[in-house]
Amino acid sequence: MDKISAGIIKQDCLQDDIYSMWIKCPQIAEAAHGGQFVSLYSKDSARLLPRPISICEVDKKAGAIRLVYRTVGAGTKEFSLMKKGDSIDVLGPIGNGYELSSSHPILMGGGIGIPPMLQLAKELSQNGIAKENISVVLGFRDDTFLLNEFKKIATVYISIDTGNVGIKGNVIDATKEYGITGDAIYACGPKPMLRAIKEYAYEKDIPAYISLEERMACGIGACLACVCNTIDKDEHSQVNNARICVDGPVFKADEVVL
């Protein structure tokens, strides 16, 4: 991977602190698939470390990728102020992404773990899986986003903290309430949600593939700042750890300790 300068095609504010950015980067778009991420670099030399952001959509024909992210600090705030025609340094795609091995998948996304589920749903649809066989369960805090995009390619169920739409509760509550079934779970979201999904998948005896969120430093596997605990020992280091950035971010749920 080489760090490249990508042009911003457009950027929109989806809600208070959620932004959608399309960037032109043909070499990254050609190689990218659902579950991977890129590292974005600040123009401020005082901010040396890149910000990892999941890939929300890939348009290989246009040579572009879409990033949907939340502003949580100075770096992402800087990105949110960028406009069409600006450039940004980007490295990627990074990580392993999801394996498309299911014929009746259940996709679960929570919070800012929702955007990467969109590209995964698109790839499953492009593989010939019918809309009614792709179940997407989305967990929101208050306001919803990306719903229209999901509804074009999947059957969508909503859980939300406020209870003003869908099921009041979390993605597991919605899965049980709606009687959603499938042969595999694909998920991305906060650790408590992933922990509950791991337990649910064990109860239902179906595989679950989870994308772990973690603070990163280098983003290329050199610094060991984003390790997670694993069931088995790493063959090289002989410790029960894996690097989320390059060994993941997607792991089989029964392979990691949450």
What is the distance between the alpha carbons of residues 93 and 37, in angstroms, rounded to a whole number?
A: 6
Please indicate, yes or no, whether residues 127 and 153 belong to a single structural domain of this protein: yes
In this predicted structure, what is the pLDDT of residue 14?
Answer: 96
Sorted by sequence, the CB contacts under 8 Å of residue 80 that are 6+ apart come out as 11, 13, 19, 71
Please indicate, yes or no, whether residues 198 and 185 belong to a single structural domain of this protein: yes
In this predicted structure, what is the pLDDT of residue 217?
Answer: 65
What is the distance between the alpha carbons of residues 183 and 104, in angstroms, rounded to a whole number?
A: 6
The number of folded domains in the chain is: 3
Domain of 76, in residue numbers: 4-94
Please identify, among 167, 183, 208, the residue that sits at the C-terminal boundary of a domain: 208
Query: Would the pLDDT of 234 be above 70?
Result: no
Kindly state the average pLDDT of the residues 50-57: 96
Please indicate, yes or no, whether residues 82 and 125 belong to a single structural domain of this protein: no
Query: Would the pLDDT of 1 be above 80?
Result: no
Q: How many CB atoms lie within 10 A of CB 85?
A: 9
In this predicted structure, what is the pLDDT of residue 152?
Answer: 97
Please indicate, yes or no, whether residues 197 and 223 belong to a single structural domain of this protein: no
Please indicate, yes or no, whether residues 146 and 203 belong to a single structural domain of this protein: yes
Please indicate, yes or no, whether residues 178 and 241 belong to a single structural domain of this protein: no
58 DSSP β-pair partners: 65
- Reading the block at residue 75, the tokens are 């770096």
Please identify, among 60, 94, 128, the residue that sits at the C-terminal boundary of a domain: 94
In tens, the pLDDT along 19-44 reads 999 999 999 999 999 999 999 999 99
Instruction: Tell me the CATH number at 173.
Output: 3.40.50.80
**pLDDT-derived band at 253, boundaries 50, 70, 90:** very high
In this predicted structure, what is the pLDDT of residue 139?
Answer: 96
In this predicted structure, what is the pLDDT of residue 110?
Answer: 96
Kindly state the average pLDDT of the residues 233-258: 78
Please indicate, yes or no, whether residues 237 and 256 belong to a single structural domain of this protein: yes
H helix and E strand count, the chain = 7, 15
Please indicate, yes or no, whether residues 127 and 197 belong to a single structural domain of this protein: yes
Please indicate, yes or no, whether residues 24 and 120 belong to a single structural domain of this protein: no
User: Would you give the distance in Å from CA 53 to the centre of its chain?
Assistant: 8
Kindly state the average pLDDT of the residues 139-145: 92
Please indicate, yes or no, whether residues 9 and 41 belong to a single structural domain of this protein: yes
State the average pLDDT for the chain. Answer: 92
In this predicted structure, what is the pLDDT of residue 244?
Answer: 76
**pLDDT-derived band at 125, boundaries 50, 70, 90:** very high
Sorted by sequence, the CB contacts under 8 Å of residue 20 that are 6+ apart come out as 11, 12, 13, 14, 56, 66, 67, 68
Instruction: Tell me the CATH number at 234.
Output: 2.10.240.10
Please indicate, yes or no, whether residues 113 and 82 belong to a single structural domain of this protein: no
Kindly state the average pLDDT of the residues 126-151: 96
What is the pTM (predicted TM-score) of this model?
A: 0.93
**pLDDT-derived band at 130, boundaries 50, 70, 90:** very high
Please indicate, yes or no, whether residues 176 and 240 belong to a single structural domain of this protein: no
